């Protein structure tokens, strides 16, 4: 069971010496003038979380929208069977907690630091006012939510899939978050796919022999994404 812990928070300040602010690295903010980005960042708060530390829990009041500054965050749902299901993993510059922008009063899942992680947050009311003022943010949020809904729909049949298909499913989703080089281990992939490390290693060995992936310490490189995605669809 996840236990919430307290964290010291400090105002988020963009470094004046850098021409590009943190928000300027995020797609939905890139068209805004730098002065506007600095003003928006003055409303944000930065927090640091250790690996496996919860950022918020399912049922907590949805008071903020969050952005990953460094590290990784995973969205986790507790299942009736007693195990946890990782819905998705967010890397640097990704936002989360966004499904609560439209009337939801509480978070529908847990968000947990998957590595030592730094996040920045903005009050929900402040973020919705940004959406009203800047159409680019609203458009970007709709695209982001569509992606998350597709991932959630895919996860509904996750338990009925074979182990290999679950692993391929996890890998193709992670490519959309991190690109061809995924900063995760096979053990972490096994946990996300709901299988053992040994089974995951055997699956990766076969994928490596076919030239689809390459593994190294702390990372997985996708060599042929199209072939990987096609293989996933071909498995019944």
Q: 10-155 is classed in which CATH architecture?
A: Sandwich (2.60)
Q: How confident is the model at residue 182 (pLDDT cuts 50, 70, 90)?
A: very high
Q: Is the CATH code 3.30.70.3340 the one for domain 160-234? A: no
Instruction: Name the residue with tokens 């996840």.
Output: 2
* pLDDT value at 208 more than 90: yes
* pLDDT value at 224 more than 90: yes
Q: How confident is the model at residue 16 (pLDDT cuts 50, 70, 90)?
A: very low
* pLDDT value at 222 more than 80: yes
Residue burial 77-108, b: 16+ Cβ < 10 Å; e: rest: eeeeeeebbbbbbbbbebbbbbbbbeeeeebe
Q: How confident is the model at residue 103 (pLDDT cuts 50, 70, 90)?
A: low
Q: What pLDDT, in 10s, does the model give residues 133-167? A: 888 888 888 877 777 776 666 665 666 788 898 89
**Distance between CA atoms of 10 and 12, rounded to whole angstroms?**
6
Q: Percentage of the chain surpassing pLDDT 90?
A: 36
Q: What pLDDT, in 10s, does the model give residues 70-89? A: 999 998 888 777 677 788 88
- Out of 2-16, 19-33, 73-87, 186-200, the most confident range is 186-200
What SS3 state is found at 42? coil
Q: How confident is the model at residue 4 (pLDDT cuts 50, 70, 90)?
A: very low
pLDDT at 158: 63
More confident residue, 97 or 3: 97
Domain ranges (residues) in the chain: 10-155, 160-234
Instruction: Name the residue with tokens 């009736």.
Output: 80
pLDDT at 2: 44
Mean pLDDT in the chain?
A: 84
């Amino acid at each position: 069971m996840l236990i919430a812990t307290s964290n010291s928070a400090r105002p988020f300040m963009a470094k004046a010496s850098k021409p590009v602010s943190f928000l300027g690295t995020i797609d939905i903010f890139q068209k805004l003038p730098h002065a506007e980005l600095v003003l928006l960042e003055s409303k944000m708060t930065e927090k640091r979380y250790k690996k496996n530390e919860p950022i918020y829990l399912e049922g907590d009041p949805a008071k903020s929208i969050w952005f990953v500054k460094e590290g990784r965050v995973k969205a986790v749902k507790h299942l009736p069977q007693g195990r946890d299901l990782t819905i998705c993993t967010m890397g640097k510059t990704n936002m989360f907690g966004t499904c609560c922008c439209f009337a939801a009063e509480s978070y529908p899942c847990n968000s947990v630091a998957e590595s030592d992680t730094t996040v920045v947050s903005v009050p929900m009311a402040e973020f919705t006012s940004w959406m009203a003022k800047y159409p680019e943010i609203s458009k970007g949020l709709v695209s982001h939510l569509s992606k998350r809904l597709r991932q959630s729909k895919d996860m509904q049949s996750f338990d009925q899939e074979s182990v290999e298909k679950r692993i391929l499913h996890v890998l193709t989703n992670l490519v959309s978050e991190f690109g061809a080089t995924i900063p995760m281990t096979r053990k972490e992939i096994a946990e996300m796919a709901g299988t053992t490390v040994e089974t995951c290693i055997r699956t990766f060995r076969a994928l490596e022999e076919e030239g689809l992936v390459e593994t190294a310490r702390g990372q997985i490189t996708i060599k042929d994404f199209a072939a990987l995605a096609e293989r996933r669809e071909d498995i019944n």
